[in-house]
Amino acid sequence: MPLFGKQDKDKDKPVRLFFATDVHSSEKVFTKFLNAADHYKADVLILGGDLTGKFVAPLIKREDGTTYTDFLGIPKVLRNEPEIREMEEEIRIAGYYYYHTTQKEYEQVKDNKQKIDDLFENLMLETLQQWVDLAEKRLSKSGVKCFVTGGNDDPFKIDDYMRSIRTEHVDYVEGNVVDVCGYEMAASGYSNMTPWKLPRDLDEDQLYVKLDELVSQVKDKSKAIYCIHVPPYDTGMDLAIYLDKDLKYQHAGQPIEGPVGSHAVSKLIDKYQPLITLHGHIHESRCFYRWGRTMCFNPGSEYSEGILRGVLIILKGPKMDAYQFTSG
């Protein structure tokens, strides 16, 4: 800024950005996320990938009129509507889906992979619609905008669906570069290969090409935000427990953990040096890493306990002014 230059107040106005990730269909965490705008006085919300859940808990209506569940391994018989509603809420808090069924229907579905897949798809899309409606209703009051991306656990089917239901305040930005309060953000839910070989898992070379193609679209790289689901390799943000080919812990008295992040992402950060990068994917590795001028964040996730883990970041011009990891 010139010595006698005029200060552009808008340009230097801090932007408070709140980022959380890996909510895995936990309604409790998602609703807290929406409320984080007020709670942390955020100007913008960014929700990282892995939006969808991994479990469906059937609520099985029995012939005697009661409803049975063994959610979390605890058999329970629900005798009336209030008990059922309460159980539904508990299931939602834990990041599971629930669905009401009969014993006969359950028996038909339980060994049928296609039916189970269809069930998951329906519940995912239904839940996402509810979330977007809720978010729009809530955020339209404050005017805060929410950007949502995908993750490697999210099936491709949700991409088009989420784009089709986007609203004024909720934008699904997977695979795009968008403006976030004057900062360009490139968002991608792809990951390097994991032991589960999910659809959005790619080999490192393929991942690099895909991500490079995306981030090259950013015009002002000094003020860029990369929201890339998988963290860079060996940065403390990507420490996970090693598994063998049977998906069993490798151990030596305690589980052995090590870096599982992406070399492709590391190369990109090294090459372009964006302002900040936002990651998720490894729930346990709540951490930051300073990479040259780039500050990288992974706030972790505790979705199954209904706890919102996030990071509040204050950006000011071309600098990151302050940050704080939160756990609400």
**Residues within window 2-41 making contact with another protein, judged by CB under 8 A:** 14, 16, 28, 31-32, 34-36, 39-40
Contacts of 252 (CB under 8 A, 6+ apart): none
User: Strand order of the sheet with strand 177-180?
Assistant: 177-180, 183-188, 224-228, 276-278, 294-298, 287-291
Cβ atoms of residues 280 and 151 within 8 Å: yes
The reply to whether 96 sits near another protein by the rule CB under 8 A is yes
The reply to whether 134 sits near another protein by the rule CB under 8 A is yes
Helix (H, G, I), strand (E, B) or coil at 163: helix
Contacting residue, 2, 5, 65, 73, with another protein by CB under 8 A: 73
The reply to whether 58 sits near another protein by the rule CB under 8 A is yes
Residues 318, 322, 328: CA angle, nearest 5 degrees: 130
User: Considering only CA atoms, which of 23, 77, 70, 67 is closest in space to residue 45?
Assistant: 23
**Rounded Cα gap, residues 177 and 84, in angstroms:** 43
Helix (H, G, I), strand (E, B) or coil at 129: helix
Considering beta carbons, is residue 177 or 277 the nearer one to another protein?
277
The reply to whether 126 sits near another protein by the rule CB under 8 A is no
CB of 70 to another protein, least distance (A): 4
Cβ atoms of residues 262 and 270 within 8 Å: no
Considering beta carbons, is residue 213 or 321 the nearer one to another protein?
321
Cβ atoms of residues 182 and 15 within 8 Å: yes
The reply to whether 156 sits near another protein by the rule CB under 8 A is no
Rg (CA), the chain: 21
The reply to whether 161 sits near another protein by the rule CB under 8 A is no
Query: Which string of x and - marks every residue 264-283 that binds another protein (by CB under 8 A)?
Result: -----------------x-x
CB of 27 to another protein, least distance (A): 9
Considering beta carbons, is residue 178 or 198 the nearer one to another protein?
198
Query: Which string of x and - marks every residue 209-248 that binds another protein (by CB under 8 A)?
Result: -------------------------xxx--x-x-x--xxx
Burial class (CB in 10 A: 0-12, 13-18, 19+), 225: buried
How many residues touch another protein under the rule CB under 8 A: the total is 88
CB of 219 to another protein, least distance (A): 28
Considering beta carbons, is residue 99 or 226 the nearer one to another protein?
99
The reply to whether 106 sits near another protein by the rule CB under 8 A is yes
Handedness of CA 200, 156, 210, 219 (dihedral sign): negative
Burial class (CB in 10 A: 0-12, 13-18, 19+), 194: middle
Considering beta carbons, is residue 146 or 177 the nearer one to another protein?
146
Considering beta carbons, is residue 5 or 64 the nearer one to another protein?
64
